[in-house]
Amino acid sequence: MRGAGSEDRSMKATAQAPANIAFIKYWGKSDEVLRLPLNDSFSMNLSGAYTTTTVEFSASFVKDEITLLNGAFSEKEIARVVKGLDRVRERAGSKLFARVVTKNTFPKGAGSAASASGFAALTVAGFSALGIRLSEKELTIFSRLGSGSACRSIPDGFVMWGKGNLNDTSYAYSLYPSTYWDLRDILVIVDRSMKKVSTTEGHKGVQSSPFWNNRSKAIPQRIDRILIALKEKNFREFGEVIEEECLDMHHVMQTQVPPLMYWNDATKRIMNAVIAWRKKGLSVYFTIDAGPNVHLICEGQDEGRVRDALKGVSGVEEIILNKPSKGAQIISTHLF
């Protein structure tokens, strides 16, 4: 299969995209196909947890080839990547097959937003390889179709995703650049294994929880609170909101049908430790996405103390240090 005017060309681009940690979380979809969320969400991009993806299109390829350098994709995951490539090809008017090589700095499928960074990098690299320039808004929309939270990995720094009600009205945008506030996200890996229930499957049961309605009503006020705290750089209020939000989402997960129990013993030990550390004067808060791994949020001045405190907690496999990061970026392009 060949694209018009591209029979004698190979085109390649490499992009790097950060994972993001949602402070106000997205749980539940109003549209499964378009991945429209039931609520707005707010996140921060992560400097140390990212995906690097190279996409090469060539008339010499007879099928799409998808490779994960530090792991393996399932057949279902490969099919999802190919669908992402199909959306890029359709928009670009190309029929060329692609070779995709990708690598993460953190575990995938363990609730650390690998699909977000992965589809953000795939989208940006794919369009760049085919010479298509899209606006940031358009890139967030296309990446959202692959993985909802991927749209938040496109803009810089601190990012809002408005839920919208149509494909073109659900997109992400930057509220503040990565340099705005010297926060730290210490990602604590306690389990690298793939979770038994994927985030995509988990979303489907959200409205079966008897606590969903309360959550949906609370989120707009919670967003107002966190945006004021962000504007004022009020870390105590900021931290209280993100912990409240985390526990609220997991309460819904744990009471939906079937229930989702993502935490393990190490997860709970870290949560309890954080509460104890605060009583001793260490300003740190936790948040957890759909998995067992824990994000510890503190200001830069307290990073060392938090890292030292973690040494006394059993079950920690690895820590990944993060500052606020820029969004998805092209690293290199080649036409040959």
What's the CA dihedral at 230, 41, 53, 181 to 10 degrees?
0
The answer to whether 290 touches 256, Cβ cutoff 8 Å, is: no
pTM: 0.92
Cα–Cα distance list, 25 to 100, 115, 241 (Å) = 30, 15, 11
Sorted by sequence, the CB contacts under 8 Å of residue 270 that are 6+ apart come out as: 188, 190, 286, 294, 296, 310, 313, 315, 316
Strands 65-68 and 183-189: unpaired
The pLDDT assigned to 71 comes to: 79
Sorted by sequence, the CB contacts under 8 Å of residue 28 that are 6+ apart come out as: 37, 38, 39, 203, 206, 207, 212
Task: Please give the chain's pLDDT, 336 residues, in tens.
Answer: 334 344 456 799 999 999 999 999 999 999 999 999 999 999 999 999 999 999 999 999 999 999 998 778 889 999 999 999 999 999 999 999 999 999 998 876 555 668 899 999 999 999 999 999 999 999 999 999 999 999 999 999 999 999 999 999 999 999 999 999 999 999 999 998 877 788 888 898 999 999 999 999 999 999 999 999 999 999 999 999 999 999 999 999 999 999 999 999 999 999 999 999 999 999 999 999 999 999 999 999 999 999 999 999 999 999 999 999 999 999 987 765
State CA 122 to chain mean position distance. 13
Q: How far apart are CA 212 and CA 30, in angstroms?
A: 14
CA–CA–CA angle 148, 326, 224 (5° rounding): 60
- Which residues are 57's β-sheet partners? 11, 98
The answer to whether 18 touches 46, Cβ cutoff 8 Å, is: yes
What's the CA dihedral at 219, 223, 224, 228 to 10 degrees?
150
Cα–Cα distance list, 44 to 28, 52, 241, 312 (Å) = 20, 18, 14, 27
Domains of the chain (ranges; CATH) run 10-179 (3.30.230.10), 183-322 (3.30.70.890)
Count the residues in the chain: 336
Peptide bond into 258 cis (omega under 30): yes
Sorted by sequence, the CB contacts under 8 Å of residue 90 that are 6+ apart come out as: none
3-state class of 251 per DSSP?
helix
> For the CA atoms of the chain, what is the radius of gyration?
20
